[in-house]
A = this chain, B = another copy of it.
Amino acid sequence: MPRRSSGRVTLQDIAERVGVSKVTVSRCLREPQRVSETVRLRIDEAVEALDYIPNRQAGALSSGRSLSVALLVPSISNSVFSEVQRGVDEGLREAGYQVLMGHTGYSVLEEERLIDTFLAYGVDGFVLSSTRHTDYAQRLLNRARLPVVETMELTDNPLDINVGLDQRVAGRAIGEALIAAGYRRIGFCGARLDYRVQQRLAGWEDALKAAGLSTQRCQTTPRPSSYRLGGELLSAMLERWPDMDAVFCCNDDLAAGALFECQRRRLDVPGQLALAGFNGLDITDATWPTLTTVITPRRAIGEQASRLIVERLQGTPRDPSRHDMGFEIDLRQST
């Protein structure tokens, strides 16, 4: 008994209905101008009539290209990455690529697992949202010889393409902005100390040290960031350093949570305490008072990443590069 086919409509079905060979049908779908108009019209009609859906797996297996790119983000719920995703998606879709998303949960091991999985799926490239990977993951990526974009932060040793911003410089810049605004007893609060947060912290220290200020008011935790955690961290800090006059929170979630805690304590922001966040999420512009923050060009990072990867996919040779997309400090009511 022959292996039963899946029941799906195939190229062959179209070909038989039209009375041509399946190669012609395949050609017609991929390079319509290479097929005569009469045949093309009849094929189009048959495709329509039979609701033909091409089998990408077969195509990919045969051609060696899957027309898909993997995008790995740490967290789906974190809206920081949804903007990156939008940028990547838009650019790649235009070029005919499908984006397959995975989330690593901020774990390099999970990232490794996903890289493995998506390589098995035959993706044509990767967009990663970090520059830190396991050794095995790096080996896999290098061996696969696929275009790889590492986004968000900058690195001196990109695997391939690197698009992001200097998190340390940004941390320093917001520190300097707080100092310029007259604050002197500036705290830092951070959660989930991934590499980027560590860089921001280092930048904050740079700024304070350069101004001869104390960097002791620093409260961190490995726990994942959340609104409530922002409140908790702020409470802890107010207890330890009651004289604190400003806090740079490592991200906007913490900053918003800290703001809510201030409201709960009837602590005037910025009168009694100034707050600053990082990323420029929607919420920073909606609270009362609005939150000072570092606006990161997440959409632009995604767009640039997709542009570069498409270029590479279309033949430009591999050539490590680094793209600094900058950032912008937006001083709002909270400082």
Residues in chain A within 8 A of chain B (CB atoms):
6-7, 51, 53-58, 60-61, 64, 66, 68, 76-77, 79, 82-83, 85, 98, 100-101, 116-117, 119-122, 139-140, 143, 145, 226-228, 230-231, 256-257, 260-261, 263-264, 282-283, 285-288
Contact = CB atoms under 8 A, between A and B. Distances in A.
A286 B260 contact: yes
Given A82-B76, A288-B264, A227 B282 contact: yes
Given A77-B82, A82-B77, A231-B286, A57 B61 contact: yes
A17 to B, nearest CB: 17
Contacts of A226: 282, 286
Nearest to A121: B56
Contacts of A288: 260-261, 263-264
Given A6-B64, A64-B6, A79-B77, A55 B286 contact: no
A285 B261 CA distance: 12
Contacts of A116: 53
A82 B80 CA distance: 14
A85 B121 CA distance: 20
A22 B87 CA distance: 42
A227 B173 CA distance: 27
Contacts of A119: 53
Contacts of A143: 51
